[in-house]
Amino acid sequence: MTQFFKNLVDRRSLLSGGISLLGGTSMLAASNSSASSTETYTKGMAHKGMGQMMTVGDVDTSINGFDPTALLTDWETGSVTTDENGNTVRTFTVEAIDKEIEIAPGVIFPAWTFNGRVPGPTLRATEGEILRIIFRNLGSHPHSMHFHGIHSARMDGVSSNSGLIDPGDEYVYEFNATPFGCHLYHCHALPFTRHMHKGMYGAFIIDPDPAKHLDHHAVAKSRKLGTPENAEWQELVMVMNAFDTNFDGDNEFYAVNTVAHHYMKHPIPIKKSKPVRVYLINVTEFDPINSFHLHANFYDYFDHGTTLTPTLKTVDTIMQCQAQRGILEFSFKDHQPGKYMFHAHQAEFAELGWMAEFDVQEG
């Protein structure tokens, strides 16, 4: 048995027969504890629809304190002041907090979070601003914030420079918002895999300043939050993540924005008249790549979001390695209303949680 198939069986065994080990109460719809995991999987595919190959029940988002549907659009823009030189200073406050979260119905994961949620807050700024991030460690382990962006060594959030911030301590990161794009931040404490997969990551979006991009002025304005041009779009942030619930170095659950199959049970409403822009980030540990496949449609892709013209045109599938990210733009304006699926094209990831739907509506 290759390592790949061994892992597959291990993970399916856990889901079909061993979920109680996790303290969980729900099962996959296709599970059958009297059958082997392989038999269960085969029977499930033969006799049950794809729609039933998912977790049963729903996560109580009020107990989690965050709702994956709300996470799609809750941009954290911080507070804005002007310094003595007339520069815009945007300040965010981020706290590291240990927290148990429910990642699938009945499956509790001991997360380390930024601001009590996974992914952490979606920090959003405009190109050229001075950013100040006040980071407080209220958790039980030393942590840091490492931003993907351009900054000095002291602001890099790795142990050899600004260092790790001990529990109870505070550090202020400060740097300029550049380059514009779809970025991320994450804890850079070692062991890196542990701190990442425990939930310490979030989206970091820098909107282009239209005044700096007269050659692509209209596009730049549409990317800048708060403009009338931006309001014409439906913007969504999606962080592809996964959880190793038994700490064996393999993921048991996959998702966009943490909760397995959330957007299958709560499809994302889309007005067909408005174009869609997805800020997509992959933070999945243990698997080398993740992917995004859209059904019945194609999109333009902006790798890292650092350009105002697409780096890939008319594609329906892209892949991202860990920390890679990009912007997807597409439209359903000529489609019939209805449910349109999107998911990782690794079928295993989809069945273990990374499967979702848009609910395209008139309007």
By CB under 5 A, name the binding residues for Cu ion: 143, 187, 189, 195, 200
CA–CA distance from 28 to each of 46, 57, 171, 278, 315 (Å)? 15, 10, 43, 29, 32
Contact between 214 and 288 under an 8 Å Cβ cutoff? The reply is no
Contact between 136 and 96 under an 8 Å Cβ cutoff? The reply is yes
Contact between 185 and 147 under an 8 Å Cβ cutoff? The reply is yes
CB-nearer residue toward Cu ion: 98 or 174: 98
Please state the closest distance from residue 137 (CB atom) to Cu ion, in A.
9
Q: Which residue's C-beta sits nearest to Cu ion?
A: 187
Long-range contacts of 295-301 (CB under 8 A, 24+ apart): 295/340, 295/341, 295/342, 296/335, 296/340, 297/330, 297/332, 297/335, 297/340, 298/330, 299/328, 299/329, 299/330, 300/328, 300/329, 300/330, 301/326, 301/327, 301/328, 301/329
Please state the closest distance from residue 200 (CB atom) to Cu ion, in A.
5
Q: Which amino acid is at 91?
A: T
Q: How far apart are the first and last CA of the chain?
A: 52
Please state the closest distance from residue 182 (CB atom) to Cu ion, in A.
22
Contact between 356 and 302 under an 8 Å Cβ cutoff? The reply is no
Residues in CB range of 315: below 8 A, 6 or more apart? 298, 299, 300, 301
| Residue 56 CB neighbour total at 10 angstroms | 15
Beta bridge partners of 113: 97
Backbone angles phi, psi at 287, to 5 degrees: -105, 135
Contact between 187 and 196 under an 8 Å Cβ cutoff? The reply is yes
CB-nearer residue toward Cu ion: 143 or 151: 143
Residues in CB range of 230: below 8 A, 6 or more apart? 221, 222, 223, 224
| Residue 247 CB neighbour total at 10 angstroms | 9
